[in-house]
Amino acid sequence: MKRQGASQHAAGARQPGRHKGLGLAASFEGIGFGYRPRAPYACDPALSRGRLCPEPESPTRTPFQRDRDRIIHSTAFRRLKHKTQVFIAHEGDHYRTRLTHTIEVAQIARAIARALRADEDLAEAIALVHDFGHTPFGHTGEEVLDALMRPWGGFDHNAQSLRVVTRLERRYAEFDGLNLSWETLEGLVKHNGPLTDGEGRALHGEVPGTILAFNARFDLELDRFASVEAQAAAIADDIAYDAHDIDDGLRAGLLSLDMLEAVSLPAGILATVRARYPGLDAVRTGHELMRRQITAMVEDAIATARANVEALAPRSVADIHNAGGPVVAFSAEMAARESELKRFLYANLYRHPKVMAVREKADSIVHDLFTRYFAVPGDMPEGHGAEVERADEAARARYVADFIAGMTDTYAIKEHKRLFDRTPELG
């Protein structure tokens, strides 16, 4: 099936407009895409593999532009504004939330895609949707739900993102989900690389059942690399949180500029800033560090990707899919420095005693809500429990997990206060 899909795409590349729903491909010529023509390896919206549910195409927007717009107007996107990045949303107005993180990722992804003459709209769409499956309270909520859902297949935020855009968003009359294009879904599922080998064996633990079930309906070619646009979104995610987690850590007082002098990437930048601006206050020094670090990492990724493209000489999207590794990547030197920085952040920020204390309290909130809803579905608000009171355990557990995963931090706390006499104070 996979090889058949690949050959169909190749045929479509030779004959634009043959794919279902793309009879208006010729009209795309009048739509602006950027300052320069796309590279031959970029995803061409006129050659999209289409949507699971065929739809008439827009005369004024490409499929990827429509995907981006549907993502932005979704309920799941709005919920991101009250979901944790590192610090609980109500701990301070200036800390990143999952939404501000997503916007930063989208901006960086577009910049990288433009430099590589890839489709900026597709890169942006994948960046905007990549965190839809995150739970309240960040990775804490995900870990709790995964443990609770272990008897029924576990919980994975990437798989949950797919559930959101293919099932849980219910806005349209003719289908569940957002009915996004194949290219956006592929990027959502595989932006971090292939999930299986050519024989279908999982490369990194088990492939979540949600992904396997959807893949049987709409083959995402799990054994191949995703597009350049998806790879741009993936590396943009790393660049964004490597920088803004430092910023938030400094703001919270859990990190200091002196501590960062022990880490090669920020240390080198700090030395430059201090040499150029002696006596600059700590706040502005931190901001200079952030912007220069982002610039350095983006420029390194672009230069490395250009070199990889030159070596690979891809003539089509298929060449990117079939490459033996990612095209968009850091240089060996930057990759080593970025790994060092991640280790530092993990030890000194993500596992800081103050962060862990809040995580423990958030853990109990998610655990309590799941246990209560699963045992007494009727306690779910707004009649949600009626849908699962007669369901078997697996279906009930998945429904409860879906419901909790969609909560914001604030709503989860509100629900816990409604159901329990005592709710931990997180702020």
- What is the mean predicted confidence (pLDDT) over 333-339? 98
351, pLDDT greater than 80: yes
Token pair belonging to 83:
């979901």
In the predicted structure, residue 58 carries a pLDDT above the cut 80: yes
**What pLDDT, on a 0 to 100 scale, did the predictor assign at position 14?**
32
What CA–CA distance (Å, rounded) separates 384 from 400? 9
The answer to whether 402 and 155 are in contact (CB under 8 A) is no
Q: Hey, is 97 helix, strand or coil?
A: strand
Q: How confident is the model at residue 384 (pLDDT cuts 50, 70, 90)?
A: confident
CB atoms < 10 A from the CB of 375, how many?
10
CA distance 285 to 288: 5
Can you give the pLDDT at residue 86?
66
Q: Is the pLDDT of residue 394 over 70?
A: yes
**Residues, the chain, total?**
427
Q: What are phi and psi of 84, to 5 degrees?
A: -65, 140
Tell me the domain boundaries of the chain.
Answer: 232-308+319-353, 354-419
- For the chain, give the percent of residues with pLDDT over 90: 79
Q: Is the pLDDT of residue 62 over 50?
A: yes
Residues 291-311 have pLDDT tens digits of 999 999 999 999 999 999 999
What's the rounded Cα separation, in Å, for the pair 235 and 359?
27
Q: What is the mean pLDDT of the chain?
A: 89
